[in-house]
């Protein structure tokens, strides 16, 4: 049944050209010595979502979606924001606002359980895929988000073309280095401080943090030789401190690796935001999923292999308010500086990410 649902889900995306965050995403945070805070992540899915970078201007009007089709929460964007969407969606899955707040939406299958809904709640209700943009367009800090997230109802709104409710959770960072994870489980809102700035998928964030206790011998320094009587056991080479760290693509294993890599850079302090941006992309190279490396055991209704891969990798510089992104087809890092755009415009600005890698000859 789970495989059937997954296949129908992917097929629906292909048909309607729309998709949410994927099942194998990884997020990390780096902080440079100059105070720059960088949140970076990968986005994986089984089919190309045709993402664009979009900019939402100040004063943009919104009306959210409810389970019964009534008009939901209405607002106008207080702050401009920029980030990546899914195909033609006016909502940001991953991005930042002009106050240096970033939001990442991550798939949360088998764990998400949204809040109960009644008709009287319509005016304060949001669909799960709308929460990221609501945060970016209304709040200037993690503290403000924490103080206001409990005032809304995030309900189990079915996306009609899919036939089910997309399960997601969220990570929020700000330019002061604060970070929280927002999850809805068993109908209740959970807010977690995130001192490490790392996130993946299921199970819940509290479980992921507890699981780190299984890796207390994890070290960034090589393990010294062990003397057993007259015999000395030495490691084969570099990296022995990380011996046994999980290397598969499951969310718990990626969480452990993301903590190891993002915290390991402390031995080599990052001086500037640009240093941290480049390091973030280097770290996330370790989480790239090539096409075909993870896949379902059967084909979809069109005979296609269902296989997640890394569609794009992004980084948010919360000091300069710059959004960086590279795609599966083009590893060139491209950027969009929010405050150089027309943040007082009247409509959403779309910047295409389409196009393939350009290989330059060294002989030119």
Integer CA distances (angstroms), 325 to 48, 89, 350, in order: 15, 18, 14
First to last CA, the chain: 55
**Nearest one of 162, 23, 220, 218 to 106, comparing CA atoms:** 23
Token pair belonging to 181: 């994870």
CA 296/CA 119 separation, integer angstroms: 39
Report the pLDDT value the prediction gives residue 15, as an integer from 0 to 100.
31
Report the pLDDT value the prediction gives residue 220, as an integer from 0 to 100.
86
Report the pLDDT value the prediction gives residue 14, as an integer from 0 to 100.
35
List all residues 6 or more positions away from 343 whose beta carbon is below 8 Å from its beta carbon.
55, 57, 58, 80, 98
Q: Using an 8 Å Cβ cutoff, are 270 and 292 in contact?
A: no
Report the pLDDT value the prediction gives residue 266, as an integer from 0 to 100.
66
- Sorted by where each begins, the domain ranges of the chain are 2-205+272-352
Report the pLDDT value the prediction gives residue 47, as an integer from 0 to 100.
79
**How many CB atoms within 10 Å of residue 357?**
11
Residues belonging to the chain: 364
Report the pLDDT value the prediction gives residue 162, as an integer from 0 to 100.
58
Digits of tens for pLDDT over the chain (364 positions)? 444 444 334 333 333 333 333 468 999 999 999 999 999 999 998 878 889 999 999 999 999 999 999 999 999 999 999 999 986 889 999 999 999 999 999 999 999 999 999 999 999 999 999 999 999 999 999 999 999 999 999 999 997 755 789 899 999 999 999 999 999 999 999 999 999 999 999 999 999 999 999 999 988 889 999 999 999 999 999 999 888 999 999 999 999 999 999 998 766 889 999 999 999 999 999 999 998 887 777 776 777 777 889 999 999 999 999 999 999 999 999 999 999 999 999 999 999 999 999 999 999 7
**Nearest one of 22, 20, 21, 10 to 301, comparing CA atoms:** 10
- Return the SS3 of 240: helix
Is there a cis peptide before residue 203, judged by omega within 30 degrees of 0?
Answer: yes
- Return the SS3 of 305: strand
CA 282/CA 1 separation, integer angstroms: 38
Angle between helices 251-264 and 273-284 (to 10 degrees): 150
Instruction: List the CATH code of the domain at 2-205+272-352.
Output: 3.60.60.10
Report the pLDDT value the prediction gives residue 292, as an integer from 0 to 100.
82
Q: Using an 8 Å Cβ cutoff, are 295 and 238 in contact?
A: no
List all residues 6 or more positions away from 314 whose beta carbon is below 8 Å from its beta carbon.
40, 41, 43, 83, 84, 94, 323, 324, 325, 326
């Amino acid at each position: 049944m789970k495989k059937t649902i997954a296949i129908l889900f992917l097929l629906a995306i292909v048909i309607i050209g729309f998709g949410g965050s994927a099942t194998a995403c990884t997020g990390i945070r780096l902080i440079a010595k100059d105070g720059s805070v960088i949140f970076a992540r990968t986005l994986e899915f089984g089919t190309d979502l045709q993402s664009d970078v979009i900019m939402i201007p100040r004063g943009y009007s919104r009306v959210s979606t409810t389970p019964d089709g009534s008009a939901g929460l209405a607002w106008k964007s207080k702050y401009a924001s920029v980030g990546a969407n899914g195909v033609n969606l006016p909502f940001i899955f991953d991005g930042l606002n002009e106050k240096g707040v970033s939001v990442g939406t991550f798939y949360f299958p088998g764990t998400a359980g949204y809040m109960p809904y009644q008709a009287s709640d319509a005016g304060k209700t949001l669909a799960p895929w709308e929460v990221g943009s609501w945060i970016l367009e209304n709040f200037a800090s993690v503290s403000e988000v924490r103080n206001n997230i409990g005032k809304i109802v995030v309900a189990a709104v079915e996306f009609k073309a899919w036939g089910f409710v997309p399960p997601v959770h969220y990570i929020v960072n700000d330019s002061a280095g604060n970070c929280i994870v927002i999850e809805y489980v068993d109908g209740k809102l959970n807010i977690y401080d995130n001192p490490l700035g790392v996130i993946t998928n299921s199970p819940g964030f509290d479980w992921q943090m507890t699981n780190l206790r299984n890796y207390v011998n994890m070290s960034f320094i090589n393990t010294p030789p062990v003397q057993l009587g007259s015999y000395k056991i030495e490691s084969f080479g570099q990296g022995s401190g990380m011996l046994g760290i999980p290397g598969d693509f499951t969310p718990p294993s990626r969480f452990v690796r993301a903590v190891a890599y993002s915290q390991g850079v402390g031995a080599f302090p990052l001086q500037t935001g640009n240093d941290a941006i480049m390091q973030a992309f280097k770290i996330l190279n370790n989480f790239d999923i090539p096409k075909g490396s993870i896949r379902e055991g059967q084909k979809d209704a069109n005979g296609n292999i269902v296989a997640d891969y890394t569609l794009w990798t992004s980084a948010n510089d919360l000091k300069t308010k710059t959004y960086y992104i590279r795609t599966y087809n083009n590893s060139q890092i491209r950027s969009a500086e929010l405050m150089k755009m027309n943040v007082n415009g009247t409509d959403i600005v779309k910047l295409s990410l389409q196009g393939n890698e350009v290989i330059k000859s060294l002989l030119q």
